Chains A and B, each alone.
Chain A
Amino acid sequence: MHARWKLFWKYRYLTLMIVPALAVLVLNNYLPMFGVFIAFKNINYIDGIWKSPWVGFDNFEFLFTSGSIWRIARNTVSYSIVFMIVNLLLSVAIAVAINEIRNRLLAKTYQTFLIMPYFLSMVVVSYLVYGFLNPEKGFLNHTIVEWLGKSHVFWYSETSYWPYILTIVSAWKGVGIGAVIYIAAIAGIDPEYYEAAVIDGASKWRQIFHITLPTIRPVIIIITILNMGHVFNSDFGLFYQVPMNSGPLYPVTDTVDTYVYRALKELNDIGMSSAAALVQSVLGFALVLLTNASVRRIDKDQALF
């Protein structure tokens, strides 16, 4: 035991270096982890978090009988899966195509344009979308819809369009940056494979399907599995800012994250929101463990732990 302490003492400066970031992790990550107990309490502002009465699983019962939980769970998971598939297909297609562009300078220029949306915040994106969808003056209603001879669409209260709008916005923002990783993976493929294929008379399509795609397959699989770990999470900005928190759209835009936020800040229902947040955290935890285990089976180096 004494020797062990001596060893720790020897490395005390390294431990000292860790302390500032450790403090941040404790305050920002670990305290909220212990704070999940509020989901089992009926919090009121007079008694505060400590003295409010314990209520067991009442908050969860409310949550699961309220009916809206199923709607938000369905929205969250289905959007996650749709975004994942659409963004994956487009990213890979763009990466393969951009690699074939003869002029490398042009290829770099296209890439610069395609990743631009990634650098904009969701608030900026909500303005951009509003530029198109503003019911009175927006580009779509005032130019496209009128040109088609149709009457104006009230975009911010018509639910039917939003699954498409959200998918387009998600792809617009994420596909370019997603492609970057596949572009790097394709750049790493040994050119001799292609040279051999050309000598054997393989067409471009055959090269893509028999060399390019199989070689980047592990990257695709790992990124997909890592994304699977987050299917219970949604991009709060996309579902809250872009539809401008519009009430009539809730049936198609409400996800776990927006629901939790609204229950907390707009309805002041701490019980319900903390219960929903805890369910999300626990399911997310299980999923990340599961996905990590699958990544580990495919490629040990890519696993998180």
Chain B
Amino acid sequence: MLRIASRRENSISPLTNFVLNGGFIVLALACVLPVVLVIVVSFTHNDSLLSRGYSFFPAKWSLIAYESLFKDYGTILRAYDVSIGITAVGTLLSVLLMALYAYPISRQDYPLRPFFTFFLFFTMLFSGGIVSKYIVFTQGLGLLDNYAALLLPLLIVPFNVIIMRTFFQTTIHPALIESARIDGAGELRIFVRIVLPLSLPVMATMALFSTILFWNDWFNALLFIRAEDKYPVQFLMIRVLNDIQYLRENVQLAAQNPELMRNLPNESLQMAMAVVGMGPILLVYPFFQKYFVKGLTIGAVKG
């Protein structure tokens, strides 16, 4: 009773509460309005863009950007295919490989544990840098224009392996493994039948981390992908923005090619491209953010 009373007494005054809420509404708007602007522009009619520019309240709406985006642009659908494929395969492989590495180094009785733990740690301390990686990937491994170049760099996130290891250490009691072994279960069976089912929460969180990582990646495509039919969505977005930018800045070039100028996608099309690129993440993140936040705080509190 006393506790409830003191808590009520301790909460802020209605005025302060009002001001705080007002402040947070402004901050929340600051976060979403840029996204809203891009979405509105993608639905804005060209006439309206000419007279009012990018505006939150266009005079005339239009769906033409999306019509042309999906009519003429098989490129978009192909890029979607690439992104979905890379994200699905990457996430699956990533969670599996990280769990397979994290489990042995979580076992106190595993004699090679110190060595493999250090082997992982060291990659967090020192990196060869992108030039060396670029040369190794393109000249040594021949990964130019190979999807493996999009997968390999993001498969193992050392920090996430450490989080998984800590999870295994704290939730799976050694006695459990010992008793399973006495019952005649081999290491692989123990991992699949006991460790994995007990670790579903951390697996789900890792899968979320990986999904975001693979879907949002454009850097590896920038380095290693040249063939247009292998562009993931995020990289296609870079190309669309840059190409249009280039033509606009070179008005002379455009003047010599009226044909080119006429076919130049307008701004609403460009912004539709952005909407198509961010759409999937924006639609799903409110549902999984809870698990994401949980994973993030585990990582921060227990390194």
Contact = CB atoms under 8 A, between A and B. Distances in A.
Interface of A: 4, 7-8, 11, 13-15, 17-18, 20-22, 24-25, 27-36, 38-39, 43, 48-49, 94, 97-98, 100-103, 106, 109-117, 119-124, 126-132, 134, 136-139, 141-143, 172, 176-177, 180-181, 184-185, 191, 194-195, 198-199, 204, 207, 219, 223, 236-237, 241, 244-245, 257, 260-261, 264-265, 270, 273-274, 277-278, 280-281, 284-285, 288-289, 301-305
Given A110-B28, A116-B285, A21 B54 contact: no
A139 B54 contact: yes
Nearest to B129: A277
A305 B121 contact: yes
B6 A11 contact: no
A140 to B, nearest CB: 9
Contacts of B274: 124, 127-128
B15 interface: no
A199 B289 CA distance: 37
A278 B129 CA distance: 7
A233 to B, nearest CB: 10
Contact of A113 (B21, B32, B297): B32
Contacts of A111: 293
Given A116-B32, A137-B53, A274 B219 contact: no
Interface string B160-204: 010000000000000000000000001110010000000000000
B101 A17 contact: yes
Contacts of B285: 116, 119
Secondary structure of the B side of the interface? helix
A27 B154 CA distance: 12
A281 to B, nearest CB: 5
Contact of A101 (B7, B24, B132, B286): B24
B114 to A, nearest CB: 11
A121 B21 CA distance: 29
B265 interface: no
Interface string B108-132: 0011100010111101111111111
15 contacts: A15-B104, A17-B103, A17-B104, A18-B100, A25-B123, A32-B128, A111-B293, A112-B289, A120-B281, A127-B237, A128-B274, A137-B54, A142-B52, A274-B131, A305-B121
Contacts of A177: 296
Interface residues on B, range: 35 or more
A21 B53 CA distance: 51
A137 B49 CA distance: 7
Contacts of B234: 121, 123-124
A60 B193 CA distance: 55
A69 B55 CA distance: 41
B27 A25 contact: no
Interface in B114-160: 116, 118-121, 123-136, 139-141, 152-153, 155-156
B135 to A, nearest CB: 6
Nearest to A30: B123
B12 A98 contact: no
Interface stretch (B34-42, B66-74, B253-261): B34-42
A195 B130 contact: no
A98 B3 CA distance: 22
Contacts of A35: 128, 132-133, 135-136, 140
A97 to B, nearest CB: 6
Given A24-B152, A142-B55, A97 B303 contact: no
A170 B186 CA distance: 50
B117 to A, nearest CB: 9
Contacts of B28: 109-110, 113-114
Interface in B39-66: 41, 49, 52-56
B286 A112 contact: yes
B95 to A, nearest CB: 11
B30 interface: yes
Contacts of A32: 127-129, 132-133, 136
Given A137-B54, A139-B55, A274-B129, A24 B155 contact: yes
B121 A184 contact: no
